Amino acid sequence: MSESASVSPFPPPPPPAITNSCRTFSEKDSVTIAAVRITTNDECSWATDYPDLQKGCFLSRVCQYTQPKRCQYTIISSILQIGPTCGLTALSMLLNGQTTATELLADASTQKYTKNGEMFSALYLFELVKKHINSPLECQFHEGSLDCDKIKDQLYAGACLLVPYPFSNNILPTYSFML
């Protein structure tokens, strides 16, 4: 048996340098991630006063160069989701945090709507909305297509639409309600 020192293998070479061959930016362009202000060649510049809206339009490629005929934008403060509570956290956001997602989770658990925070029933979420709403807002449950005159009219009137993501094979929302 020979005595040889074990030698560690050499590390792999570093990856090649990344070059931006797709596009170069001019002085007119600006991409500032920290401020979430994205204007590239005047794309979505009509929304510069609302950086989140501008970012959404830019990333979705909606109304890139011209202002939409009509735009309503409601600023809703974000709330960090803890655990599988996306529906309850979204509801808490719509209620301006007056009822926390933790309080909604406790209530939903008491009502046996959920165990860990997942809301598998739009009707149960609707019941929580009706119970916790502390304003004269009207809440409606909608079943069916979201591309209908009823939904469009309500949104034009300033309604918020909470659309649960269904657990089904076709992944199309079928139940929703609005405040």
| Residue 161: strand pairing partners | 178
Task: Spell out the per-residue pLDDT of the chain, length 179, in tens.
Answer: 555 556 656 655 655 554 433 333 333 433 444 444 444 567 888 888 888 888 888 888 888 888 888 877 778 888 888 888 888 999 999 888 889 999 999 999 999 988 888 888 888 888 898 888 876 667 888 888 888 999 888 888 888 888 876 555 555 545 555 55
> Which run of H or E residues covers position 176?
strand 175-178
Classify residue 139: in a domain, yes or no. Answer: yes
| Structural domain span for residue 141 | 86-178
Total residue length of the chain = 179
User: Same structural domain for residues 54 and 102?
Assistant: no
Residue 154, classed as helix, strand or coil, is helix
Classify residue 165: in a domain, yes or no. Answer: yes
Classify residue 9: in a domain, yes or no. Answer: no
User: Same structural domain for residues 93 and 48?
Assistant: no
User: Same structural domain for residues 43 and 96?
Assistant: no
Tokens standing for residue 70: 């009509």
Q: Which of 57, 63, 71, 86 is catalytic?
A: 86
> Which run of H or E residues covers position 110?
helix 101-110
For residues 88 and 104, give the distance between their C-alpha atoms in angstroms, rounded to a whole number: 6
Query: What pLDDT, on the 0 to 100 scale, is given for residue 149?
Result: 92
For residues 105 and 109, give the distance between their C-alpha atoms in angstroms, rounded to a whole number: 6
Classify residue 79: in a domain, yes or no. Answer: no
Per DSSP (E only), the strands in 22-76 are 30-32, 37-39
Examine the residue annotation and report whether 160 is marked as an active-site residue of this protein.
Answer: no
Q: What's the pTM value of the predicted model, to 2 decimals?
A: 0.62
CB atoms within 10 A of CB 91: 24
Tokens standing for residue 52: 């989140």
